[in-house]
Copies of this chain bind each other. A is one copy, B any other.
């Protein structure tokens, strides 16, 4: 079983040496190692995969002793993450994740799918995943969001994934899942922020469209980007056809970003991701 050590702290001389010394003295075996020093703010990031037996508390204490104050240490492994999915009416991202989940390819347990519409209930239940329908009809935005939040919290997930959830979430909601809330936006951000990006792309006459998976923060479509991808389009495609073509990009980009996050390959630092 592989273990993962994720460390970040202000950069100083000897950090790699000090960390690997601790691991060596615990007789642990590094199988893969990545470091990066962010130059704008001089911040150090290191992700280490290793094998071997160790006393968790002693190892953490030794690492803290060796490293500067203010260090962030995460000692974890690649076990499956508990997640909840939010969706609305479009199926393509949800379908893709349910299939990967069913075949053990997602590195996550989907605890529940929550939606403000019922159209994806059948699909979800085919795969023996609970589906919770929380209509927004006749409720204020606050009421509906509170209900959704309550439903999510009942599952206590590590990550919440917006698989084409078409309602805007309040900063209060987002604050509950800082760096744990992942969205797929159907454009090549920062182009076409907001609603109807394919209509915007058609209107502008672009020759390439894309999709962006990102952590959600308080500002709409402004959170740290995890993955992006694109496909070429041309003048023969209507906004609707661009949207169709874009779906395959969206689902692949979202799945790719979840793999990175669930495999603990992503650091979030300020408004960016560092990906190993």
Q: A: which residues have CB within 8 A of B?
A: 13-14, 16-17, 20-21, 23-24, 27, 29-39, 91-92, 95-96, 99, 102-103, 105, 123, 126-127, 188-192, 204-208, 210, 224-230, 234-236, 238, 244, 248, 252, 255, 271-275
- Min Cβ gap A140→B in Å is 32
Residues of B near A208 (CB, < 8 A) are 188, 210, 228-230
Q: A200's closest neighbor in chain B, by CB?
A: B190
The binding surface of chain A is classed by DSSP as mixed
Q: For residue A32, which residues in chain B have a CB less than 8 angstroms away from its CB?
A: 35-37
Report how far A188 CA is from B13 CA in the complex, Å.
Answer: 39
Give the residues in chain B near A29, CB-CB below 8 Å: 13
- Nearest neighbor of A206 in chain B, beta-carbon distance: B225
Measured CA separation A236–B274 after assembly (Å): 8
Contact B234 A206 (CB under 8 A): no
A23 to B17, CA, bound (A): 9
Beta-carbon contact of B91 and A103 below 8 Å? yes
Q: A99: nearest residue on chain B (CB-CB)?
A: B95
Taking a contact as CB atoms under 8 Å apart, the answer to whether A206 and B228 are in contact is: yes
**When the two chains form their complex, are residues A17 and B20 in contact, meaning their CB atoms are under 8 A apart?**
yes
Contact, CB under 8 Å: B227 / A230: no
CB-based contact B191/A207 at 8 Å:
no
| Chain B residues within an 8 Å CB radius of A206 | 189-190, 225, 228
Complex Cα distance, B267 from A148, in Å, reads 50
